[in-house]
């Protein structure tokens, strides 16, 4: 079937609305870096644990996550550099909490809703059969862990 050629914009009002709402490239880059912080299971689970508990030390977080203290410490370092968690010292013990102004609804509503949308077996999760309705068993791959790095400029 021959390709259909169209004059653009097809929807001038849609283009105008899209331009008005799109993030500037610099902000989109920062957002991608911050979202990349959530690509690591230990880092994302730390955020959820801190929402629930309020404040935890490294050892307690390691118990919560069933991870090593080294894994938790490194994940906390990355989250701290990104400005997502803060800490206070109590003698030799360091306690971590979400940074002031952290958008709790981001975790409790948005990310949990994304998990529900991409429920296992629906094709929304890598390795579960590709895109829904396409029969693509290869899936789309998982680039979520690439380029997480330091999200602050």
| Each residue's pLDDT tens digit, 56-98 | 999 999 999 999 999 999 999 999 999 999 999 999 999 999 9
Paired with 4 in beta bridges are: none
pLDDT tops 80 at residue 46 = yes
State whether residue 86 is helix, strand or coil. strand
CATH number assigned to the domain covering 25-117: 1.10.10.10
Q: Which of 33, 34, 66 is nearest to 49 (CA)?
A: 66
Q: Is the model more confident about 95 or about 139?
A: 95
Token pair in block for residue 42: 């230990």
Please state, in angstroms and rounded to a whole number, the distance separating the CA atoms of residues 135 and 120: 16
Q: Is the model more confident about 61 or about 108?
A: 61
Question: What pLDDT score does 51 carry?
Answer: 92
Taking the mean position of all CA atoms in its chain, how far away is CA 131? 21
Question: What pLDDT score does 123 carry?
Answer: 52
**What integer best gives the mean pLDDT of the chain?**
80
How confident is the model over 5-21, as pLDDT tens digits?
778 888 889 989 999 99
pLDDT-based confidence at residue 129 (cuts at 50, 70, 90): very low
- What is the crossing angle of helices 41-53 and 69-81, to 10°? 80
Question: What pLDDT score does 137 carry?
Answer: 37
Question: What pLDDT score does 147 carry?
Answer: 37
Q: In this structure, are strands 85-90 and 56-57 parallel, antiparallel, or unpaired?
A: unpaired
Return the residue matching tokens 């996550």. Answer: 65
DSSP per-residue letters across 43-99? HHHHHHHHHHHS-EEHHHHHHHHT--HHHHHHHHHHHHHTTSEEEEEETTEEEEEEP
pLDDT tops 70 at residue 52 = yes
Please state, in angstroms and rounded to a whole number, the distance separating the CA atoms of residues 141 and 127: 8
Considering the entire predicted model, what is its pTM?
A: 0.67
Q: Which of 24, 31, 22 is nearest to 152 (CA)?
A: 31
pLDDT tops 60 at residue 107 = yes
């Amino acid at each position: 079937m021959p390709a259909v050629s169209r004059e653009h914009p097809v929807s001038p009002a849609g283009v105008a609305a899209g331009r008005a709402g799109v993030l500037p490239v610099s902000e989109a880059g920062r957002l991608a870096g911050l979202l990349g912080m959530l690509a690591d299971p230990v880092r994302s689970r730390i955020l959820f644990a801190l929402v629930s508990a309020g404040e935890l030390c490294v050892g307690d977080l390691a118990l919560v996550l069933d991870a090593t203290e080294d894994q938790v410490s490194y994940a906390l370092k990355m989250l701290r550099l990104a400005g997502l968690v803060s800490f206070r010292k109590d003698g030799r013990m360091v306690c971590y909490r979400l940074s002031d102004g952290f958008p709790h609804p981001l975790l409790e509503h948005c990310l949990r809703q994304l998990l529900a949308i991409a429920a296992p077996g629906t094709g929304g999760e890598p390795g579960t059969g590709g895109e829904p309705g396409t029969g693509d068993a290869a899936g789309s791959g998982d680039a979520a862990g690439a380029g997480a790095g330091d999200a602050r400029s």
